[in-house]
Amino acid sequence: ATPTSIMAGSGRAAELGVLFKGGEHLELTHRITTVVLDKTGTVTNGKPVLTDVIAEGNITEEQLLSLVGSVEKQSEHPLAEAIVQGIKDRGISLSDPDDFEAIPGYGVKAASGGRNIMVGTRKLMNQSGIDIASAAEKMEALEKDGKTAMLVAVDGVYSGIVAVADTVKESSKAAIRRLKDMGLEVIMMTGDNQRTAEAIAAEVGVDRAIAEVLPEGKAEEVKKLQMQGKHVAMVGDGINDAPALAVADIGMAIGTGTDVAMEAADITLMRGDLNSIADAILMSKKTIRNIK
Ligand code: ADP
Ligand code: MG
C-alpha cells in the first residue's frame, strides 16, 4: 500500500463523514463479509418515547407512573430517560428513591415512599419470583408492534407495564438494502427482547436479529461469527457496544454516540446515517484497487 493512495483514500472518506483511525483500517475494511448493527441508536434514532401505560390491581395509572418515574430518574439508560420525560409531560410529580440499583440488561430496582419498586424484563421479574403470567398477552401485543415493554412490580406484586417506542432512522432501510446488494450479510444485535427485535428487523430488512444479548455478551456474539470464518464489522453507539467494537475485525462507531464507543472503534461515522457503512467499504475497495 502506498502512503499516497492511503492518504488520498482517507481524505475522500473524510469528505463523506467516514473517519478512519489509521491507514490499515482503510486497507482491511474491504474484506468485511458480515455487518452487525446495534439496534438502539444505530438502526433506530435512539430517542424512545413513552407510549403505553397499563396499571393492574389496586393502583391507578398515575400512581404507577409516579412510582416508576421516581425510580427511573436515577437511571442513565435511554429507556429511563424516555419514561421520565413521558411522566413529566403528563404533569405527574416524582419523589427521590432510596437504595437505587441498576441491573444492566435487566432493569432497575429501588425503594420509594416506603414501597419496593422494580421495573424491567421478564427475567428480572422471574428472578425475583414475581408472577407475571397475567401480563403475557399484553406484553406480546406491545412487542409485536416493535415497542419495548417493561414490567413493573410494586412490593413484589406485578402491577403493570410501561412501554416505549423508538423510531427507525429514515435512512436505515435503504442503507441496509445497499449492504445486501453488495453481497454482505446484515445482522441486528440488541439487548431488547426477541419479538421487539424481530418487528424492527422486518421493518428494516436485516437478515436476522440476535436479541436478549446481555451487555457483556455482544463481544461474544461477534467472536462466534468470526469463528465461523466471517469478517465482521460491528456498528454501534453505546458504552455497552465498546467491547464488541474492539473485538470486531472493523469497529464502526456512530459519531453522535458515546465517546467510549468512538475510542473502541476503528472508524467513526460522523453522519448517523447507516449509508456510511457502504461508503466506508467502497472507499476501502477503491483504495485497494489503486494499490494493486
Ligand atoms: P439495548 O441493547 O437495547 O440498549 P440493554 O441491554 O441496555 O438494551 O437493556 C435490555 C433490556 O433491559 C431493555 O430492553 C429493558 O427491558 C431492560 N432495561 C434496561 N434498563 C432499564 C431501565 N432503566 N428501566 C427499565 N428497563 C430496563
Ligand atoms: Mg445503542
Q: pLDDT value at position 264?
A: 96
Tell me the one-letter amino acid at 229: G
Question: Backbone phi, then psi, for 257, in 5-degree steps?
Answer: -85, -155
Active site residues per annotation: 38
Nearest alpha carbon, ligand 1 atom 24: 107
pLDDT range class, residue 292, cuts 50, 70, 90: low
Ligand with smallest separation from the Cα of 47: 2
pLDDT range class, residue 2, cuts 50, 70, 90: confident
Model-level ipTM above the cut of 0.90: yes
Nearest alpha carbon, ligand 1 atom 22: 107
Q: How many A from CA of 105 to the centre of ligand 1?
A: 5
Q: How many A from CA of 115 to the centre of ligand 2?
A: 32
pTM equals 0.89
Nearest Cα neighbor of 180 from 281, 287, 266 is 281
| CA angle, residues 16, 170, 232, in degrees to nearest 5 | 60
- Contact (Cβ atoms closer than 8 angstroms) between residue 267 and residue 19: yes
Nearest alpha carbon, ligand 1 atom 20: 107
